[in-house]
Amino acid sequence: MQNEKTVCWINGKMVAPEDAVVSVFDHGLLYGDGVFEGIRYYNQKAFRLSEHLQRLRDSAMVLNINLRYSEAALGRAINELILESRQQQGYIRLIVTRGVGSLGIDPVTCQEPTVILIASPLSLLAADKRQQGIRVMLSGVRRIPVDVLDPRVKSLNYLNNVLAKMQANAAGMDEAIMLNASGNITEGSADNVFLVKNDMLLTPEVSSGALAGITRHLVICLARDHGIEVIESRLTPYDLYTSDECFLTGTGVELIPIAEIDGRKVNTCPGTMFRLIEAAFQKTIMEET
């Protein structure tokens, strides 16, 4: 839903939200052919911008989409958008589609990519749930296999994530965690999964189907900086159910503790390790923005 504080930029021009439109022949709309990034800004400065822009470029390269703009040019456009928003903090969605083409899946008809920036306030979770933890379930919707689409590509194809979120909504849960075809944990509908066991921090490996999240990488670095052993491996529902702590990470949600998984209470929520890493995360935001 459009917010009065939302500002948009399309193909090099700032536009009012009500005028922010794309062609019905854009292959991003017709086929989900494109890539995107979600970027947070704090104190009117984009957080971890270079990492997001590098991932965008890598995703576009895999799909053979020419970005049109350099990372420096996109950075300037994002900074301009943040100033235009007049908000101290918010969320930016950066979208690059294959562009306008004919009706037909062949991308050769698309001459020029469409590049879109949207800045808007973001509030995904109530304060009490951030403090007390959320309830999650294992979804029956499987993650796209890694031999079909590499999870490092952040594409516009999020249908299985949407279906998993719908399943959580229908069950009265806050989030759904998806498994891969082998029954291993991958990620939530829009976030990475971490668990604590015997003072070690564990997270699904990217090759299991987890997105190589920017916040995920930062959490791993912060944990290691504090002397915590971090293991990226194949994890199963058993590992979640028997964990000492469990939490989710993502650009939008930041860090969220999990209180319950499939009706099973997590041993500690929020736990000691979560509190330590969350404090270090907030400190990093303050230092970098």
Query: Which residues are the active-site residues?
Result: 154
The upper half-sphere exposure of residue 23, i.e. CA atoms within 13 Å in the direction of its Cβ, equals 16
Contact 277, 222 (CB under 8 A): yes
Task: Give φ, ψ of 247 to 5 degrees.
Answer: -155, 165
d(CA 102, CA 109): 6
Residue 158: exposed, middle, or buried by beta-carbon count in 10 A (0-12, 13-18, 19+)? Answer: middle
Instruction: Tokens 């943040």: give the residue.
Output: 82
d(CA 209, CA 149): 9
d(CA 88, CA 154): 27
